[in-house]
Amino acid sequence: MPKPERPYRVIISGGGTGGHIYPAVAIANQLRVVNPQAEILFVGAQGRMEMTRVPEAGYKIVGLWISGLQRRLTLDNLSFPLKVLSSVRASHKIIKDFKPDAVVGVGGYASGPLLYAATSRGIPSLIQEQNSYAGITNKLLSKRADKVCVAYPSMEAFFPADKLVLTGNPVRSDIMDLKGKRDEAMQHFGLQPEKKTILIIGGSLGARTINQSIAAGVEQIAGAGCQLIWQTGKAFYPQAQELETKYKAQGIRALDFIKRMDLAYAAADVVISRAGALSISELCLAGKPAVLVPSPNVAEDHQTKNAMALVQQEAAILVKDAEAMERLVPTALQLLEDEQEQQRLQQNIRKMARPNAAADIVNELIKLIK
């Protein structure tokens, strides 16, 4: 690509969960690789996790007063129209002050008002959809956006076909190369290098069924002589801490949130995970044998669709949420003992990785700017 003549100015909006935030940060990081002086501003929702995670990644963020519609009648729903109007107005001011060359929406509450305001001013816009089943904000905005970058084929059901580009999901670059990190990982988590290790990731906010299943089976895990790195989310953390205290000598480690995911993957022999789009993209790049427990509490059961894309390629094992209490721990321990099956899953999951996703998305963005 020819060297850019000037620093680009880009707003990236969205968030709510790690599944929206980390792709957004990966896009920003790649933009800085291509255009080192680029001015990047994030726009998130007040009180959501992007307001802390984005500054930790080294970027400035502005928060909008916006939240989603609840499925039941609540006071929040009554204030929703007011929040939308307020956020659209605030977005117009942000755009007027920042003067972006282009805007990127990654899904989540803040994405809607910001992209609506930007497209009504004729500013080039790009949407990045992480899931195999598109979110409502992105579906509505796609009619106004210039490009829609997707992670799964056959997304014409949700978006205008002429705007689609299949890029995959951008993930944190440190996950792409785990070679030689195992010793550092073991030291970081205080684990024994000679023991096998299971990594539990229920998503950035935790996953109740996975946490309860692990809590019920933690004695079995410790008894099998293997170690555990367990990301619980905030709500379950106090309960998991008690179990960690009890089984610390056996290598049970509970954390409410893992910042060094590269080291967590480097330490892991087997991963137990929800089937969010970002988790699956990371597992493909890390090339780890995985037991997937799709969340049943998501739109159109899209996590099961995400998981089945891997299961059909013999690249992961599926345990249904409703069966997790009985099956999850025995399935993971069985996989941990079967090295041949681990290798087969690893080979197949690596074939599904898209390591150039961030670069491909930034290429599309720069085409829009030019």
Supply 257's token pair: 């949130």
User: Which CATH fold would you assign to the domain 9-169+355-369?
Assistant: Rossmann fold (3.40.50)
Burial label, 28 (beta-carbon count in 10 A; 0-12, 13-18, 19+): buried
The CATH number for 174-350, chosen from 2.60.40.10, 3.40.50.10860, 3.40.50.720, 3.40.50.2000, is: 3.40.50.2000
Domains 9-169+355-369 and 174-350 share a fold: yes
pTM to 2 decimal places: 0.82
8 A C-beta contact, residue 357 and residue 167: yes
State pLDDT tens for residues 163-202.
999 999 998 878 888 989 999 999 999 999 999 999 999 8
Residue 309 DSSP SS3: helix
- Closest to 104 (Cα-Cα) out of 62, 166, 41: 41
Q: Where are the alpha helices (DSSP H) in the chain?
A: 18-34, 50-56, 75-98, 111-120, 136-141, 182-189, 208-223, 237-247, 261-267, 277-286, 302-311, 324-337, 339-350, 357-369
Binding site, residues?
Answer: 17-19, 131, 172, 204, 258, 303
State pLDDT tens for residues 77-118.
666 677 778 788 999 999 999 999 999 999 888 899 999 999
DSSP 234: T
State pLDDT tens for residues 25-61.
999 999 999 999 999 999 998 888 899 999 999 999 9
Binding site for UDP-N-acetyl-alpha-D-glucosamine, residues?
Answer: 17-19, 131, 172, 204, 258, 303
8 A C-beta contact, residue 39 and residue 102: no
With tokens 């963005």, the residue in question is: 365
- Domain spans of the chain, in order of start: 9-169+355-369, 174-350
